[in-house]
A and B are shown apart, each in its own frame.
Chain A
Amino acid sequence: MSSKAVSKLASALQNFGHRLIDQFWRLGSASRLFGYTLASSGESLRRPFLVIREIYFTGVLSLIIILVSAFFVGMVLALQGYNTLQKYGSSEAIGVLVALSLVRELGPVVTALLFAGRAGTAITAEIGLMKATEQLSAMEMMAVSPIARVIAPRFWGGVISMPLLASLFSMVGILGGYLVAVPLIGVDGGAFWSQMQASVDFREDVMNGFIKSCVFGVACTMIALFEGYDAPPTAEGVSRATTRTVVNSSLAVLGLDFVMTSFMIS
């Protein structure tokens, strides 16, 4: 092997190792930020308006996109499900299909993905820009902790909004499915609701979906906060951090979903 190839291999290995170590460093630094955020939560929860303002920005302003997509997802589920179920002569089971798929999976997961795109990016860009314009350093100079004043309220705003949005997503999706299945296709309305109630279990399905959405809320909000806090204070740095927020949140949501589902199904 020529010395050129060896040095190429070595530099590739070096590059890989550098990236790996960098990822571990970021993970540790994110955990540290998470710890600080929890530690200074008490301070920011004592001023509830800070959190309420963040719920407004992350929750209320995400309502439109969440509700409209939920409505269409529910309608599509009903159309697709009816198409297949009707071949087996059990089109009344469409209510079960729509409700279970929304409450167990689609509600929490799609809400989290939309949440990462709609609210997560906003949080990252805002904090990244605050850092780039040295607002965070200015706060520190005034002996105001930026974590208690900026990070923790956004964290709690996201964590509170996410389960509410996911519940709304599931409910509106089921209503959309009902609209397609019952008035449009002509499935019996009584059978739609009664079969749904017979097979959707409160603890097994509704509560597990709720727990999932809480975990996704923590994951998405924390990733968005960390990416913003960690962003290089340049225009390019903020733009890259925003992209990473969407990519990492989506991967984290789908990965966590698999892990939690495998715990819950057993």
Chain B
Amino acid sequence: MRLIWKLLRKHISLFELSVFFVANLIGMVVILGGIQIYSDLKPLVAGDNALVGNDYVVISKPVKRLNSKSVFSAEEIEELKIQDFVLRLGEFTPAQYQIFGGINIGGQGFSTYMFFEGIPDDFVDVKSKEWKFSKGKRKVPIIIPRNYLNLYNFGFSQTSTQLPQITESMMKDLELELTLSGGNHKDKLVGKVVGFTDRLNTILVPQSFIEWSNKRYAKGENIEISRLILEVENPSDPKLLSYFKKHGYVAEDKPAESNKALFLLRVGVAVIIGIGVLFSLLSLIILTLSIYLLLQKNIDKLRTLIDIGYRPTTVAAPYNLITIILSVSIMALSIWLLSHVRVLYIDYLSEAAGREISGGMTLTIISGFVLMVGIILFNMTIIRRKIAQISRMQ
């Protein structure tokens, strides 16, 4: 190998390889940076457990006058289901009985009439092991909107010196005394907050609990559906908007706002990644041309090596080695640089979000690895083809 290297290194241009190295490094850092920023920012705009690529819209009918109910008929729901902009549809099932809830915070009692709703589990954006209800148990898991907690902390607790501010984890430790009544039954149950949602503006309990409790306290009376959750590809789809307008459906603002933010994030990241890809493509062309030129300059020596019995794979080895060393060091350096840059903004982000950002760098590292392998394979293919062409009988 030493002699082959001595023979073939003559025309290697340090300048060309350095240009490739710098250009590819910039390209790689920009691409991987885009991916890293996306994974760090996404949880902020898309909720705790939102799935990539999915958007949700909650719709209802406007309240028109006193004593009238705005509900969806079975036909309307069926018609919505078959629209091509609707991927999935879930119904909000309301509790149709009386609920009285009490809570004790710092020695201060706090009680109110309240309501529950249920939706199918796969629409719930909070994943928790405790999210299940078994008949006969007194414990009811509850998910509340994160802004309810904010309402308490910055509303009630600010106006009263006796009510302390509470964190999410403190809230999860509290027990809610629930009194459920209706249909000749009155029971005391214990509610437990198991998570906070950014997607759903309601007090959620498991669907199985709603079904059981409606049967017990409301005798399974005909349930009227007043809100629906839709999984859609694009919440700003003109077809969807005109359909809603035509039928007088109203989409709730909150998820739409977060969808807009998610959309903007995606566009921003796509632009960053696009620039990175452009840089990387340019640098890849530089590397490929350099190696191709190198092979061309050494063509007589390569041919002689093959003529005296060398295998094409052995002859290709030094060139493959250059590609591998360059690509691996570029990838390692990019990840190293990014991890340092990330430290600079992650604290600021966590502070702005009011919670820990735990995106991690796994996606970035995997993407970097895939890119690196791609670049290496591409160049090895070019080298193999050129040397095969040299080896062929004339």
- Are A and B co-members of a single complex? no
